[in-house]
Amino acid sequence: MRIVITGGAGFIGSNLAEVLALAPNNEVCVVDDLSTGKVENLPIASGIEFIKGSITDLQLMNEVLADADFVFHQAALPGVQRSIEDPAHANEVNIRGTLNVLMAARDAGVKKVIYASSSSVYGDTPELPNREGMTPNPLSPYAVTKLVGEYYCKVFNDVYGLNTISLRYFNVYGPRQDPHSEYAAVIPRFVSRVLRGEPPIIYGDGQQTRDFTFVKDVVNANILAMNSDATGVYNIASGRMISIQELATLITRLTGLQSISLWIWC
């Protein structure tokens, strides 16, 4: 079985590639332009094929997906702030790139495309927890691009008969998440500061809550989605809420550095 992972050298994609490559009879191919991913993220001697390239290249997508059975579409220009700074680039990569993947998958007769969406499509909903039936309210170019990707997946499923499923990730954390990125998520940023003996910086009163999801659970969800007949949109989350202040306190305790104070910027 041949599996293609776009963005497979990134945080989530590389964890997914590692697990899929361990299964017998799986041929795993990773396509990544290395704009945020790293070849070093891919396990050594895993047999994973690596192709450096962008999902914005339709010809490349046609070539790579020609004999694919399943496609995990993880590639994207990540980050809300980055999309605000350069919405045109976010549109090109996240919307045009997704369309390229879907067209190539359709033409190749791929069995299923598993699309990485985001909880950001919900926006600031007054009612929690977020449920799939809620009306999306994207508040950034990034969230818009992810929602458009979902709509394209639905259209290709309904119109062209290409099986697709969209997974809305909630605040993923875990191994290979880059704490040094300008757009690093809160957990690696907090951990990195605490290990340097610096206090975690909290903006606001710290009572805002998030649902954090371990990357291995996200990997398992992707594999379940591949093996399932299900299509449509699904939340991928832990189902547990924690405030940012509680998170920072927990990290200082688990690292044995409770003496470090929290900086709260209101």
Are residues 167 and 114 in contact, defined by beta-carbon separation less than 8 angstroms? yes
Catalytic residue among 122, 142, 152, 169: 142
| 169 noted as active-site residue | no
Torsions phi, psi for 178 (to 5 deg): -80, 110
Distance of alpha carbon 202 from its chain centroid, rounded?
24
DSSP β-bridge partners for residue 2: 27
260 to 149, 185, 195, 249, 253: CA distances (angstroms): 42, 20, 10, 9, 9
How many CA atoms does the CB half-sphere of 48 hold within 13 Å?
A: 30
3-state DSSP percent of the chain in helix, strand and coil, to 5: 40, 20, 40
Name the DSSP class of 93. I
Tokens representing residue 63 in the block: 């070539």
Q: Name the one residue in this structure whose structure tokens are 């547990």.
A: 240
Catalytic residue numbers, as ranges:
142
